[in-house]
């Protein structure tokens, strides 16, 4: 090199932003819920629980679910809300009809979505599961965009958390809960993820 030739500065590419920061997913809208707590010591987060929710039931597009999980729902805004007045619940994620993703609780923490439950030989599924709500009515079909977001989220979760199973609320609390119901396409989730059939409930067709 000619000693008079100036040395070019070293080019350094910026590191990509991480997908997860303390349990918060980069590609989700954040709306932090106060309804959460720490996971028990030694908990192994290996289960995803799929739910369905709409407020009021069967009505879509509003912000009532966000308000419910944030403890700001106006109980007097609809007659149905009186039946759940004072309810304090949350989920980690919420997927709207058009596929938009929201997050309410860090995946590192315990959300309040499962209630009394039992699955893969363990009770109290809130302790070691991640709850995902789909905007919809139990038993009714869901939108293709919701499956796309769900599959993408599952793919992002598995390298960071030891996810081995996916089940519906109906499978971890049979008889008490019935969501997401018959309208949920388990085959679409299995095809999209490529996960083995044993990752899904034995009672669903894969």
Which stretches of the chain are assigned E, i.e. beta strand? Answer: 20-21, 24-25, 29-30, 36-37, 47-53, 93-95, 101-103, 110-111, 118-119, 122-123, 129-135, 165-168
Is 140 annotated in the active site? Answer: no
> Two tokens at 85?
């007045």
Q: Kindly name the residue from 10, 100, 133, 145 that is annotated as catalytic.
A: 133
Cα of first residue to Cα of last residue in the chain, in angstroms, is 64
Q: How many CB atoms lie within 10 A of CB 175?
A: 6
> Two tokens at 51?
């739910």
CA distances from 28 to 3, 31, 90, 181 (A): 52, 9, 16, 25
Question: CA-based diameter of the chain, in Å?
Answer: 82
Give the catalytic positions in this structure. Answer: 133
């Amino acid at each position: 090199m000619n000693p008079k030739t100036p040395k070019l500065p070293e080019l350094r590419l910026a590191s990509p932003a991480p997908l997860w920061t303390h349990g918060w997913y980069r590609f989700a809208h954040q709306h932090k819920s106060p309804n959460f707590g720490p996971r028990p010591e030694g908990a192994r987060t290996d289960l995803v629980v799929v739910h369905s929710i709409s407020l009021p039931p069967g009505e879509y597009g509003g912000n009532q679910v966000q308000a419910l999980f944030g403890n700001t729902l106006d109980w007097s805004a609809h007659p149905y809300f009186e039946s759940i007045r004072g309810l304090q619940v949350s989920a980690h994620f919420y997927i709207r009809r058009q596929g938009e993703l929201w997050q309410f609780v860090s995946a590192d923490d315990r959300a309040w979505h499962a209630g009394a439950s039992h699955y893969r030989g363990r009770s109290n599924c809130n302790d070691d599961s991640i709850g995902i709500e789909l905007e919809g009515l139990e038993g009714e079909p869901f939108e293709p965009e919701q499956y796309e977001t769900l599959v993408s989220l599952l793919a992002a979760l598995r390298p960071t958390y030891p996810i081995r199973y996916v089940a519906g609320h109906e499978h971890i609390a049979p008889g008490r809960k019935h969501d997401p119901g018959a309208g949920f396409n388990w085959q679409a989730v299995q095809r999209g993820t490529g996960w083995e059939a044993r990752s899904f409930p034995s009672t669903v067709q894969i």
